[in-house]
Structures are given as structure tokens and as C-alpha cells.
């Protein structure tokens, strides 16, 4: 009988996590561990129950600041083929999710992932979640500091940290290297943006501005700056101080009001700010004090990529127009998906992942490209991969490889790059099939010749929780049940004008409610009007404000909220990717985002 090689997990902490999961799972299956206890344990280990019930589980894999290696990509491909449904999903927080994994197989999956240094520990639950970071960090011509080692240090400090094991609710941290804010600091519990300040002697000091208590969901809240400037040596203590305030004051009786934004609502900003700074002042007395500048920063450095002489850097950020101007496939891809301008002369290129989905063949293909081209890759918060440290000479060959993998669409900063949460496909809380709508919108945009509008973002969530970050996009939708003619049908609220960047955030404003089947047409009409009416260089938000705002735009779309009878329009009462009549089936909340 052939002996199957078992993966070897060399990281002792990951190995201990897996051993404990096996033990707890055995106890749960034997009936000696309560359902509620196992559920909390399961979530803390990144295992989330699906709406299909039974033993169907989603595994969320942590990828700090989106970093991923060839060996890890190949392991994800193996898991997708052997245990899941042949593909995985990049989330808006730079994780990878695998669905339909059976509960009894979870330890085997964790071992396969652990053998390449991947863990799902604290990817869900009331913990410090995956630490996000700008996907261009270390390769961005505009950055003040390379935040890569800082995000790495934060991930290592807070993962398995006793302070973060039983928080009132989840806690999210992210990093941006400049005020373009690709890391989206403005809506996280703790958001870090690298900044410069001028000292009295005229010299420049690089450090950070730390924002706190941002959040999306049903009640979005813009983050607030703890102080004008946080020095490099004070950054890690500041983050721990914020976490300590949350752990001490977060609402443990009502999870709906338990995030950091509600701490400010309860205590007030001045009191919250004072507590953070006071805890930081005395933190050196604590055994958990993270020290000054982390050793990983000293070892690897955080010098910014810099700007290349004589090279016009690629414009980056929300609202940046993209002009393809070519008919040749390679030229169009290079114009839309390649980022240039770093001082070392390297370039970066996006590999487009439709709806954030990556097949096992694509996982393996990206792994091979990284190895053969001698480059590195990260996942982005718009659900793509970006390939970094490329030379100009490598771009044509890379393009051909991506064409073969069906990942060469010029879409990373174009309107066709629709972002969606998993929706009612697998999530217990979703009320609509957001992925189906995203696909339908994409198809309509292609049909109407609108898919290559630059600088406009579309995001969709299957409920109000904003896993798809609908509040932050130019055009956003969140799912909601509608009723007409005594029947339920899937619907969406359209929001317009969301924006993140330059240390500010505009949340999308309500424009129009539409049945799900009319949402693609609503999107097409808004985009066509924007294209026809915008002035040179005008952003979507500026255009919206100039023509009267979100509600005024919605007033011209009211015919799309007319719902036919089931006899005249039976398709309106069936959601995307469904065959039977629409029904709302909302399960118990476990770990929405």
C-alpha cells in the first residue's frame, strides 16, 4: 500500500494551533465540548460556517499585507482541488477564502497550508484580524516610507497576543505608505499613513499619522487622527495602546455596538484620545511593550522606493482617469495595468482576477511566473494580484502568460473591475446574490462599451455589513429584501459618490432603491451620463456634486424602481444564480467580515 507523504509543519506555533484544533474537533464531535464553545474556538482559528449548514465550512487564510509566495500559491491550488471547489477567493482585506470544506477535513487542510507557513489563526472571530498594507509598498513612486516591515511587525506582534484573544469584537489594522491611502486607513479601527514633518532646523522627519475608530457597516464612521505626527519609535506602542483601550472599554453586552467606533460614541473623542495617549505613556512598564523601532524594520529598512529621474510616475488612487488609447491588446494592458516610476527602475503589473476568484490553474500559473521571472507578488484589496520587481523587458512575456491564464484583462483601475463580497452564495448574513449582480453588471458594461472607463469604482455587498465596501466606491450597492404584489424579491440600495484618499473619506450617499434585475441598467445609465457630462479631468464625485448630488441623479432613474407583477416579470422574483423563487434565509451571525 502506497504511503502518502504528510505535510510537515515546521513553525511550532502553527503546529500547536493545528494540534489543538484536532483535539477540540474530536471533543466537539464526541459531544464533550459545547456547540457555543467550539464555535468561538473555530472562528478564532479562521473557520467560518456557511449558510449551507451541515459540515460546510469556509477557511479564511491570513496573508499579511497581501504577501504570498510560490509555494503558498501551489498549496492553495492543491487545497482548492482536493478539498474545495477548484477555486479560491481574494477578499477586500487581502485574505484568501476557500469554501465548502468539510469540518472533519479542516485539520488536514490546515496542515497543508501550515507546511508552507500559512495560517488561518485569527482571520475570523473577535480578534486582531489580518493586518492590511498597501500592495505597492516598496514599489510605489509616491510613498513616504515602505510600510512593508511595519505591517509585518504589527502582524507578528498581535497574532496570538493575549491582549487580542477575546476582544469585544473584531479589530482591524492597516497601513498606507502615503496619503493616496491605497491601504484604506480611513475606515479601520487603527489606520496608519506614512507622513513627513519639517523640524525646526529645516530637516525632514518621516513617521506616521495614526487614525482610529473608522468603520463601515450599517453605521459608517470616518477615522480620526490620534495626533498630528507619530514617530517611528512610537508607532507600535500607539497601536497597542489603541487595542488596549478597545479591550477595556468595548461593549461586551451588545455586539452590534461593540466596534471601536462605538467606543467614541460612548466615551467621546477627547476622552478616547486621552486614554490612548495615557496608556502609551506608561506602556514601557508592561511586559507586552512592543519596544521602539521593531527589529524587522531595522533589519530590512523602510526606505521608500523613490521616484525615477525622467520617468513620469503612473498616477495611483481612486478617481484617477485611465486612457487606453490603443487597439493592440498588449498596449491596452500595459496602459491600464502597469505601474511605473520607482527609482530602481522596476515596474509592477496587475493580474486581473474576475470577482476576486482564482482557479487552481491560476494559482499555479502565478506561482510559476513568480519563480521564472524572479519577482514577487501580493494580493490587493480590490481582489487582484500585483506582480512586482519586473523589468520593462519582461512585460511582453508576462502579458502572454497572463493571456493564457485569462488574467490579462485591462481592468485593475477600470470600471469593469467590480468588487463583490461572496453574498448569499455562502454567507449566512447576505440577503442577495451579490456575486451574480457583479457579473451581470460586468456583462452590461462590456455590451454598452462602458467597461473601460477609468477611475470609477463599483462595489457590491449582499447586505448592509459592507464586506464589499459599498460605502467607499463611486457606485455602490447593498442588498435588501423588497416586497411587491404580495411577494418578496431581491433588491438593492444604490449609493453614489464614495471616496477614500488624501486622509479623508466620503461615504456613498443614497440615490435609489431598485429591484436586483434593474441594478445593471441603473449602473449603465449613471455611467453613460457621467461620460457625457463630465468636464476634463473631473472625478465622479465632483461631477455628482455639480449635477445636484446622489438623490438628484436617482430622481432621473425612478422608472427603474417600478416592479412588474409576477406574471409580467417573473424574473424579478428570482435572484441571480438562483432558479427558484426568492426567499430571505438569514442565519445566525458568526463572523460577517
| Whether residue 203 has pLDDT greater than 80 | yes
Average pLDDT over residues 239-252: 97
| Confidence band, pLDDT 50/70/90 cuts, at residue 592 | very low
Question: If residue 555 lies in a helix (H) or strand (E), which one and from where to where?
Answer: helix 550-555
Predicted local distance difference test score (pLDDT) of residue 226: 98
Chain segment 451-499, per-residue pLDDT in tens: 989 889 999 999 999 999 999 999 999 999 999 999 999 999 999 999 9
| Confidence band, pLDDT 50/70/90 cuts, at residue 591 | low
d(CA 566, CA 582): 12
Chain segment 337-358, per-residue pLDDT in tens: 999 999 999 999 999 999 999 9
d(CA 251, CA 24): 28
Cβ-contact 388, 66 below 8 angstroms:
no
Cβ-contact 18, 108 below 8 angstroms:
no
Helix axes 35-44, 12-30, angle to 10 degrees: 160
> Burial level of 34, CB count in 10 A (0-12/13-18/19+)?
exposed
| Whether residue 434 has pLDDT greater than 80 | yes
| Confidence band, pLDDT 50/70/90 cuts, at residue 533 | very high
d(CA 206, CA 577): 50
| Confidence band, pLDDT 50/70/90 cuts, at residue 414 | confident
Label the pairing between strands 385-390 and 376-379: antiparallel
| Whether residue 3 has pLDDT greater than 60 | no
| Confidence band, pLDDT 50/70/90 cuts, at residue 444 | very high
| Confidence band, pLDDT 50/70/90 cuts, at residue 562 | very high
Go through the domains of the chain in sequence order and give each one's CATH number.
12-114 (3.90.480.20), 142-300 (3.30.413.10), 329-404 (3.90.480.10), 419-573 (3.30.413.10)
| Nearest residue to 181 (alpha-carbon basis) of 482, 472, 424 | 472
Q: What is the largest CA-CA distance in the chain?
A: 77
| Whether residue 407 has pLDDT greater than 80 | yes
Predicted local distance difference test score (pLDDT) of residue 456: 94
> Burial level of 329, CB count in 10 A (0-12/13-18/19+)?
middle
| Whether residue 408 has pLDDT greater than 90 | yes
| Nearest residue to 497 (alpha-carbon basis) of 476, 528, 513, 474 | 474
Predicted local distance difference test score (pLDDT) of residue 589: 60
Chain segment 372-400, per-residue pLDDT in tens: 999 999 999 999 999 999 999 999 999 99
Average pLDDT over residues 23-46: 97
| Confidence band, pLDDT 50/70/90 cuts, at residue 1 | very low
d(CA 565, CA 453): 35
Indicate the average pLDDT of the chain. Answer: 94
| Confidence band, pLDDT 50/70/90 cuts, at residue 51 | confident
Label the pairing between strands 132-133 and 173-176: parallel
| Whether residue 438 has pLDDT greater than 90 | yes
Strand ranges (DSSP E) for 286-421?
Answer: 338-339, 347-351, 357-359, 376-379, 385-390, 419-420
Predicted local distance difference test score (pLDDT) of residue 593: 41
| Whether residue 194 has pLDDT greater than 90 | yes
| Whether residue 587 has pLDDT greater than 80 | no
Chain segment 505-532, per-residue pLDDT in tens: 999 999 999 999 999 999 999 999 999 9
DSSP string for 194-257: EEEEE-TTS-EEEEEEEEE--B-TTS-B--EESSS-B-HHHHHHHHHHHHHHHHHHS-SS-GGG
Tell me the three cell numbers of residue 554. 436617482
| Whether residue 77 has pLDDT greater than 60 | yes
Average pLDDT over residues 126-146: 97
| Nearest residue to 588 (alpha-carbon basis) of 36, 115, 196 | 36
Q: Given CA atoms 340, 319, 406, 80 in this order, what sign does their dihedral have? A: positive
Tell me the three cell numbers of residue 591. 463572523
Amino acid at each position: 500500500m502506497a504511503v502518502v507523504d504528510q505535510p510537515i509543519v515546521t513553525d511550532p506555533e502553527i503546529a500547536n494551533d493545528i494540534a489543538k484544533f484536532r483535539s477540540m474537533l474530536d471533543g466537539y464531535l464526541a459531544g464533550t465540548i459545547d456547540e457555543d464553545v467550539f464555535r468561538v474556538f473555530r472562528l478564532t482559528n479562521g473557520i467560518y460556517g456557511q449558510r449551507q449548514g451541515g459540515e460546510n465550512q469556509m477557511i479564511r487564510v491570513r496573508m499579511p499585507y497581501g504577501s504570498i509566495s510560490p509555494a503558498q500559491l501551489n498549496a492553495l491550488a492543491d487545497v482548492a482541488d482536493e478539498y474545495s471547489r477548484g477555486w479560491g477567493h481574494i477578499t477586500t482585506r487581502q485574505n484568501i477564502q476557500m469554501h465548502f470544506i468539510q469540518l472533519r477535513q479542516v485539520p488536514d487542510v490546515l496542515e497543508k497550508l501550515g507546511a508552507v507557513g500559512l495560517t488561518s489563526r485569527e482571520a475570523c472571530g473577535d480578534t486582531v484580524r489580518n493586518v492590511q498594507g498597501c500592495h505597492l509598498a516598496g514599489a510605489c513612486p509616491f510613498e513616504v516610507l515602505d510600510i512593508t516591515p511595519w505591517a509585518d511587525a504589527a502582524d507578528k506582534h498581535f497574532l496570538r497576543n493575549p491582549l487580542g484573544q477575546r476582544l469585544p469584537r473584531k479589530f482591524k489594522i492597516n497601513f498606507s505608505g502615503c496619503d493616496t491611502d491605497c491601504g484604506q486607513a480611513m475606515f479601520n479601527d487603527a489606520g496608519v499613513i506614512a507622513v513627513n514633518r519639517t523640524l525646526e532646523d529645516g530637516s525632514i522627519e518621516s513617521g506616521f499619522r495614526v487614525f482610529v475608530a473608522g468603520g463601515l457597516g450599517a453605521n459608517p464612521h470616518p477615522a480620526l487622527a490620534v495626533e498630528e505626527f507619530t514617530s517611528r519609535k512610537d508607532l507600535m506602542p500607539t497601536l497597542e495602546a489603541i487595542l488596549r483601550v478597545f479591550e477595556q472599554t468595548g461593549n461586551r453586552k451588545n455586539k452590534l455596538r461593540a466596534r471601536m467606533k462605538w467606543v467614541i460614541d460612548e466615551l467621546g473623542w477627547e476622552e478616547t484620545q486621552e486614554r490612548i495617549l495615557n496608556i502609551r505613556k506608561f506602556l514601557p512598564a508592561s511586559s507586552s511593550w512592543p519596544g521602539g523601532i521593531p527589529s524587522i524594520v531595522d533589519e530590512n529598512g523602510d526606505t521608500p522606493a523613490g521616484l525615477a529621474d525622467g520617468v513620469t510616475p503612473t498616477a495611483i488612487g481612486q478617481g484617477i482617469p485611465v486612457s487606453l488609447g490603443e487597439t493592440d491588446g498588449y498596449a491596452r494592458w500595459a496602459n491600464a495595468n502597469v505601474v511605473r516610476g520607482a527609482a530602481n527602475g522596476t515596474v509592477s503589473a496587475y493580474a486581473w482576477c474576475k470577482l476576486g476568484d482564482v482557479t487552481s490553474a491560476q494559482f499555479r500559473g502565478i506561482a510559476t511566473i513568480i519563480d521564472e521571472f524572479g519577482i514577487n507578488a501580493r494580493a490587493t484589496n480590490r481582489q487582484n494580484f500585483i506582480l512586482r520587481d519586473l523589468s520593462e523587458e519582461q512585460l511582453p512575456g508576462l502579458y502572454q502568460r497572463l493571456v493564457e491564464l485569462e488574467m490579462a484583462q485591462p481592468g485593475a483601475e477600470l470600471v469593469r473591475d467590480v468588487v463583490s463580497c461572496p453574498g448569499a452564495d455562502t454567507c449566512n448574513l447576505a440577503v442577495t446574490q451579490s456575486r451574480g449582480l457583479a457579473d451581470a453588471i460586468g456583462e452590461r458594461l462590456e455590451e454598452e462599451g462602458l467597461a473601460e472607463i477609468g477611475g470609477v469604482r463599483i462595489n457590491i455587498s449582499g447586505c448592509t455589513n459592507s464586506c464589499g465596501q459599498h460605502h467607499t466606491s463611486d457606485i455602490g450597492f447593498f442588498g435588501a429584501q423588497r416586497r411587491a404584489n404580495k411577494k418578496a424579491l431581491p433588491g438593492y440600495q444604490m449609493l453614489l459618490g464614495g471616496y477614500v484618499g488624501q486622509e479623508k473619506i466620503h461615504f456613498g450617499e443614497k440615490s435609489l432603491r431598485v429591484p436586483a434585475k434593474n441594478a445593471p441598467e441603473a449602473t449603465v445609465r449613471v455611467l453613460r451620463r457621467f461620460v457625457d457630462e463630465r468636464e476634463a479631468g473631473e472625478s465622479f464625485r465632483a461631477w455628482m456634486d455639480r449635477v445636484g448630488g446622489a438623490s438628484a441623479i436617482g430622481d432621473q432613474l425612478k422608472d427603474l424602481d417600478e416592479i412588474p407583477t409576477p406574471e409580467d416579470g417573473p424574473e424579478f422574483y428570482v435572484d441571480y444564480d438562483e432558479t427558484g423563487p426568492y426567499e430571505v434565509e438569514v442565519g445566525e451571525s458568526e463572523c460577517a467580515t
